[in-house]
């Protein structure tokens, strides 16, 4: 059965400045480009069988994905649902915890709905393996799709720039609906 890989984009200017990037584009740093190239080389050298790369439309993820695609030869497609959460007027501010919409932003639940719908679609493609190139906020949602998490675990979860994580569909825990 197919599975997916997930990676976070390379380091950005706002990562270095510890600012929320959200839906605002913050370009990769020189190190970010290097991280993406190294990840592409790792994927190629480890012969990871990936059929398609799906990436966020934000330049930091798209540029990371382009480096990987160029090195590995894996086809690349932009997937709008992989865009990072929109933090409204709080983008470019120091990092904070956000549970709800702040003046035009996007709630965590809205983001989860779009990511879960994408993962549901990919799960049906049992003959394909995907690499998703997106953002740290998206990584929490993907992790929560595959594993039960407490609120504390969800808030603390994150991955490093260009870290790759493998998820297998058979590892998903099904939860029965509560009967009334």
Active-site annotation, residues: 9, 84
- The H or E element spanning position 145 is helix 136-146
Quote the distance between the C-alpha of residue 103 and its chain's center: 24
Quote the distance between the C-alpha of residue 111 and its chain's center: 11
Going by the DSSP 8-state scheme, the letter that residue 84 receives in this structure is: P
Residue 172's CB is within 10 A of a number of other CB atoms, namely 13
Token pair, residue 119, equals 């993962």
Strand intervals (E) in the chain? 3-8, 52-55, 76-78, 130-134, 164-168
Q: How many whole angstroms separate alpha carbon 50 and alpha carbon 133?
A: 13
């Amino acid at each position: 059965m197919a599975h997916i890989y997930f990676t976070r984009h390379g380091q950005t200017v706002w990562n270095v400045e510890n600012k929320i990037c959200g839906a605002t584009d913050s370009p990769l740093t020189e190190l970010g480009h290097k991280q993406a190239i190294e990840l592409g080389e790792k994927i190629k050298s480890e012969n990871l069988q990936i059929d398609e790369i799906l990436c966020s439309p934000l330049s930091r993820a798209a540029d990371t994905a382009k480096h990987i695609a160029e090195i590995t030869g894996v086809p690349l497609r932009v997937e709008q649902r992989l865009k990072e959460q929109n933090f409204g007027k709080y983008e470019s501010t120091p990092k904070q915890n956000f549970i709800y919409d702040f003046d035009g932003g996007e709630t965590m639940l809205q983001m989860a709905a779009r990511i879960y719908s994408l993962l549901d679609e990919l799960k049906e493609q049992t003959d394909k393996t995907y690499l998703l190139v997106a953002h740290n906020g998206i990584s929490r949602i993907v992790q929560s799709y595959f594993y039960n998490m407490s609120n504390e675990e969800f808030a603390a979860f994150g991955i490093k720039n260009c870290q790759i994580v493998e998820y297998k569909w058979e590892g998903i825990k099904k939860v029965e609906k509560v009967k009334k």
